[in-house]
Amino acid sequence: MNFMNSKAYSAFETASNLLLLNLLWLLMCLPIFTIFPATAAMFAVIRQSVLYKDSSVIRPFFRFFKENFKQSFLLGIIWLLIGFLLYFDFKFMNHVGSIRPMLLPILFFFGVIYSFSTVFLFSVMVHYKANWRSVIKNAIFISISHFPTTLLGLLILVGTAILTMALPITGVIIFSISTYGLFSLCHRCFRKIERIKGVESVKEPYDVEFLEI
């Protein structure tokens, strides 16, 4: 049996690529302000692997990093600001007294929507051609309309955070594995939407119009 064509070699190659991708992501996150472009690049490489079975990592990563830099940086900053705003609003709830029972459910609702749409945010951005407003709008809509998938995605995000804090050494590979799981889940939802709209499978995000939902 040819080892190069065996399942063992395929598994080894996949694990090696995920490790390399994770290390590239960590390296490009070091300047801090590049975290969002690096994350978009990692999602785009995973997308390439899922759709095309393309195992290349280094060159595509830096190409996607450059192509997505402006949009992913802007989107990331906006998302971070919204997150901080929600956090400080929750902290502020301790000082509003009698109106707290009225405001807390509203704030909780927006917090849930924020958490849900985070699951789809980067997958939507790398899979479709869209401005940041459309990315956010569609990430929110898809997360609500595909609730079971959203819950699975949240479990992946929470599980990744817990595992990384409990065993920091897993940080060398866990982020790329989580990204693979997240994009795979999101892509199933994308295909359902595309079939409903009578659109062929989207494979070139920069050559197609975004599916406005």
pLDDT at position 7 is 75
Query: Residue 105 pLDDT > 90, yes or no?
Result: no
pLDDT at position 208 is 46
Place 8 in a pLDDT band, splitting at 50, 70 and 90: confident
pTM (whole model) above 0.75:
yes
100 located within any domain: yes
pLDDT at position 95 is 72
- 40 vs 130: which has the higher pLDDT: 40
23 located within any domain: yes
160 located within any domain: yes
- 89 vs 185: which has the higher pLDDT: 185
pLDDT over 90 percentage in the chain: 66
pLDDT at position 5 is 59
Query: Residue 207 pLDDT > 50, yes or no?
Result: no
Give CA–CA dist 16/173, Å, rounded.
Answer: 10
pLDDT at position 6 is 63
Query: Residue 101 pLDDT > 70, yes or no?
Result: yes
pLDDT at position 121 is 96
Number of domains within the chain: 1
Q: How many residues does the chain have?
A: 213
Place 23 in a pLDDT band, splitting at 50, 70 and 90: very high
93 located within any domain: yes
User: What separation, in Å, do the N-terminal and C-terminal C-alpha atoms of the chain show?
Assistant: 49
51 located within any domain: yes
Place 190 in a pLDDT band, splitting at 50, 70 and 90: very high
Q: Average model confidence (pLDDT) for the chain?
A: 88
pLDDT at position 115 is 96
- Residue 37's nearest CA partner among 1, 6, 66, 13 is 66
26 located within any domain: yes
Place 12 in a pLDDT band, splitting at 50, 70 and 90: confident
206 located within any domain: no
Residue 167 domain boundaries: 3-196
- Residue 149's nearest CA partner among 191, 120, 115 is 120
Q: Which amino acid is at 12?
A: F
102 located within any domain: yes
| Range with the poorest average pLDDT among 108-112, 124-128, 151-155, 194-198 | 194-198
In this structure, which long-range contacts are made by residues 131-134, counting pairs with CB atoms below 8 Å and at least 24 apart in sequence?
131/71, 132/71, 132/74, 132/75, 132/78, 134/210, 134/212
- Read off φ and ψ for residue 186, nearest 5 degrees: -65, -40
pLDDT at position 200 is 67
Tokens 């459309």 locate to 134
Tokens 């958490």 locate to 115
pLDDT at position 102 is 80
Give CA–CA dist 51/120, Å, rounded.
Answer: 17
